[in-house]
Amino acid sequence: MYHVQYTLGGQPIYDFSRGKSLPEYLEDAKKQKKSIKHESEFKNRVEILQNFDFSVASSRIRVSPDKQFIAGTGTYPPELRMFDTKELSMKFMRRFDFEVHDFIFLSEDYKKLAFLMTDRVIEFHSQGGRHCRIRVPKQGRSMEYLSSAAELFIFGSTNEAYRLDLESGMFLAPLETKLEYINTGRISSTLPLILLGGERGKIELWDLRDRSMAASLKIDSISNSNKSSNNNDINQSLSTEDSSKLDWFNTVFNSGHESITTSAFSKDGLRFTLGLSTGNIVIYDVRSSKPLQVKSHRNDLPIMDLHYTYCHDFGKDVLVTADRHNIKIWDELCENITARTNNNGLMATINSDFPISSICTYPDSGLIMATGDQSRIGMYYAPMLGIAPSWCSFLDSITEELEEEHLKKDYSLKSSRIYDEYQFVTQEQLKEWGVEHLIGSTFLKAYLHGYLMNSKLFNDLRDIINPFDYDKYRKDLIKKKLQEKSSMRMKLPVSNNIQTNNNNKSISKFNQEFAERLGKQARGEIESSDDDNNDDIHNSTKNKNSKSSIKIRKSKQKLKKGQQERAQSLLSDDRFSKLFSDADFIIDENEVA
């Protein structure tokens, strides 16, 4: 099953992870005692990689440096699945005793792997299986590999970045930082720098040549932004003891005490991007303390992962970020005119049906993969980023057919809308109502910078919180009195409370259909259902008994006359005049009693 989403500029993004997995299809077919061959949804599915799913959920996915293998970890049970892109299927599967926090390729292909486990152990795997296990002093959160020195860096719930020499098989002296914890670490591909990010918006840059701190940066609140601009520049007048540290403070930002959740270096190594726990993204130049760009997901959800990928349409790298509900594609520095007109460089937003844990972009293509709390691994194809990889070049022809089909069905951007059964609410509105606990539940669905809520639930909450809107009642009452005072026409003493036009149609303010129906009944143009029954009785007894037919005809005439009198009295009686002139007496004919 596939789904098409459209960007701000109307370009399509294809989601091939919708629908059920093959085991789910087989299970449903077994319950219904039907063959899956006759399932239309099963026939229309697009499966890029065979068995590209896990039993319960997936946690991490990576592409090998030679671009031939795609590895993913998931549960339950904890396992690794290696996929060969040349065969479009799974190459092998390995299971673990504990869940995997992170893993990394140590060679160009799948033959050397390192896994960071939840039991404070690093497992090294070779082509044949598990090679050895090494205990880590503290719980790890992520890893980075420095291939030039064969060193593995482990970051976790400590202020030290552990260094493991894979050539000698022993731990080296760790990097002792001033961070409370190290949430993320990234090694620059061009410069001898390693970026460490932790709690309370603090990061440190270390020089790998002499293993000393080159600079430190603190993302502080906006309250410190009114200080002199000299505090935002690199401080060269440091003491001899702190000559290796450059403290950068007072960066303009919209929140205090943000935690660094993820980070990435640009491919040229001159910029680095930080993902924060508040849903914001900050882009820095390594030569300046001032942020180049500040972007926001506008939903206060932590940034789970971010990557740089090449965009063929722009001829440069773009930024792909992900929180728990959305994947966003950004023009990093807002240099493109089209992207600049769209909300701070935002190019596209991909809405996910499952909570996202990590993402991975296939190099030099428009393929984006996402792991999360569902059995299938998310597969998204964005032609705006580039063509499909060579091993799945059939996607280009498939997407062309899908685009033509959707154009025929008018599934364009202009036809997209929010259905009437949902109401859009912002997070500020949820805070005001005191129902923030609904975030993350099935009652709210993340959409743009807010959430979609069922209209019935929205109305119930509004009625509970504001049972009587006094301000609205007061405004309506004042408006009504002003209209009465400003009325210059005198009411004519007519028998009817409803005025009619030349076509005998009512021109009442409210309950017009009811008024027209009463008018027709008063003129004898509409007969009740009892009259129809009398007609049937009259036709059936016409030839049998002429006397009884005469009685029925007379009773019919009396009934019609009584109906006209009732309608005329209802229209002429002043006691019912507000039915057609006051909004408080509107009749809801669709309401079920």
What pLDDT, on a 0 to 100 scale, did the predictor assign at position 434?
A: 85
490 pLDDT higher than 70: no
Q: Does the structure show a pLDDT above 50 at 262? A: yes
Average pLDDT over residues 420-436: 82
Position 271 confidence tier, pLDDT thresholds 50, 70, 90 = very high
Least confident of 36-40, 113-117, 190-194: 36-40
Please state whether beta strands 170-176 and 193-198 pair in parallel, antiparallel, or not at all (unpaired).
Answer: unpaired
> What is the per-residue pLDDT for 64?
95
* pLDDT(586) > 80: no
Verify that 539 and 456 share a domain, yes or no: no
Q: Is the model's pLDDT at 494 over the cut of 70? A: no
Q: Is the pLDDT of residue 542 over 70?
A: no
Average pLDDT for residues 135-161, to the nearest whole number?
93
pLDDT band of residue 233 (cuts 50, 70, 90) is: very low
User: Higher confidence at residue 30 or residue 71?
Assistant: 71
- Residue 555 inside a domain? The answer is yes
The alpha carbon dihedral of 327, 328, 332, 338 has a sign of positive
> CA-CA distance, 321 to 330, in Å (whole number)?
8
Residue 463 has pLDDT above 80, yes or no: no
Q: What is the pLDDT of residue 512?
A: 73
For 544-579, the DSSP string reads: T-HHHHHHHHHHHHHHHHHHHHHHHHHHH-GGGGGG
Enter the tokens of residue 252: 């303009």
Task: Give yes or no: residues 563 and 517 share one domain.
Answer: yes
The order of strands in the sheet holding 271-276 is 260-265, 271-276, 280-285, 291-296
Q: Is the pLDDT of residue 2 over 80?
A: no
The answer on pLDDT for 209 being more than 80 is yes
Q: Per-residue pLDDT for 171 more than 90?
A: yes
Give the residue, 354 or 508, on which the prediction is more confident: 354
Is residue 442, in this structure, part of any structural domain at all?
yes
What pLDDT does 415 receive? 39
Q: State the pLDDT at residue 397.
A: 80
pLDDT score of 283: 94
Are 576 and 485 contained in the same domain? yes
pLDDT of residue 226: 36
pLDDT value of position 428: 83
401 and 460 housed in the same domain = no
Position 484 scores a pLDDT of: 72
The verdict on 475 and 544 lying in the same domain is yes
Model pLDDT, residue 43: 67
Q: Which of 47-51, 263-267, 458-462, 492-496 has the highest mean pLDDT?
A: 263-267
- By residue range, what is the domain housing residue 438? 422-465
Confidence tier at 474 by pLDDT (50, 70, 90)? confident
* Cα–Cα distance, 70 to 63 (Å, whole number): 5
Buried/exposed 316-326: b ≥16 CB within 10 Å, e otherwise: ebbbbbbbbbb
Question: Which range scores top for mean pLDDT: 411-415, 434-438, 538-542?
Answer: 434-438
State which of 448, 465, 482 marks the end of a domain: 465
Q: Is residue 354 part of a domain?
A: yes
Is residue 474 domain-shared with residue 461, that is, in the same domain?
no
pLDDT, residue 183, reads 92
Q: Who has greater pLDDT, 321 or 394?
A: 321
Q: Mind listing the pLDDT tens digit for each residue in 149-159?
A: 999 999 999 99
**Percent of the chain surpassing pLDDT 70:** 72
What average pLDDT does the structure give for the chain? 78
pTM for the complete prediction?
Answer: 0.67
pLDDT given at position 240: 31
Query: How many Å from the N-terminal Cα to the C-terminal Cα in the chain?
Result: 42
201 occurs within a structural domain: no
Q: Are residues 394 and 428 in the same domain?
A: no
Evaluate if residue 467 carries a pLDDT over 70: no
Please check whether residue 371 lies inside any domain of the structure. yes
For the chain, the domain total comes to 3
Residue that wins the pLDDT comparison between 510 and 80:
80
> What is the predicted pLDDT for the residue at 336?
64
Q: Which of 272-281, 452-461, 468-477, 557-566 has the highest average model confidence (pLDDT)?
A: 272-281
The residue from 465, 498, 522 where one domain ends is 465
Contact by Cβ (8 Å): 295, 340: no
More confident residue, 77 or 525: 77
Torsions phi, psi of 561, nearest 5?
A: -65, -40
Q: How confident is the model at residue 422 (pLDDT cuts 50, 70, 90)?
A: confident
Residue 349 backbone dihedrals phi, psi, to 5 degrees: -130, 130
Residue 309 forms part of a structural domain: no
Predicted local distance difference test score (pLDDT) of residue 403: 67
Domain check: are 476 and 580 in the same one? yes
Position 521 scores a pLDDT of: 75
pLDDT of residue 544: 47
- Based on the fold, state whether residues 497 and 550 are members of the same structural domain: yes
Question: Is residue 229 predicted with pLDDT exceeding 50?
Answer: no
431/492 same-domain check: no
80 pLDDT tier (thresholds 50, 70, 90) = very high
The predicted pLDDT at position 225 comes to 33
Q: Which pLDDT does position 188 carry in this prediction?
A: 93
Q: What is the token pair recorded at 212?
A: 């000393």
Q: Are 343 and 411 within one domain? A: yes
* Residue 282: alpha-carbon gap to chain centroid: 21
How far apart, in whole angstroms, are the C-alpha atoms of residue 17 and residue 270?
35
CB pairs under 8 A, 24+ apart, for 557-564? 559/528, 559/530, 559/531, 559/534, 560/524, 560/527, 560/531, 563/521, 563/527, 563/528, 564/521, 564/522, 564/523, 564/524
Regarding whether 519 and 480 lie in a shared domain, the answer is yes
Judge whether 506 lies within some domain.
Answer: yes
- Give, for 43, the enclosing helix (H) or strand (E): helix 40-43
Residues present in the chain in total: 593
Single out the residue in 380, 396, 416 at which a domain terminates: 416
In-domain check, residue 143? no
**Is the pLDDT confidence value at 76 over 60?**
yes
| Residue of 240 and 174 predicted with greater confidence | 174
* d(C-alpha 124, C-alpha 114), whole Å: 5
Give the best-scoring range by mean pLDDT among 398-402, 522-526, 534-538.
398-402
The pLDDT of residue 231: 37
Q: Please say if the pLDDT value at position 517 is more than 70.
A: yes
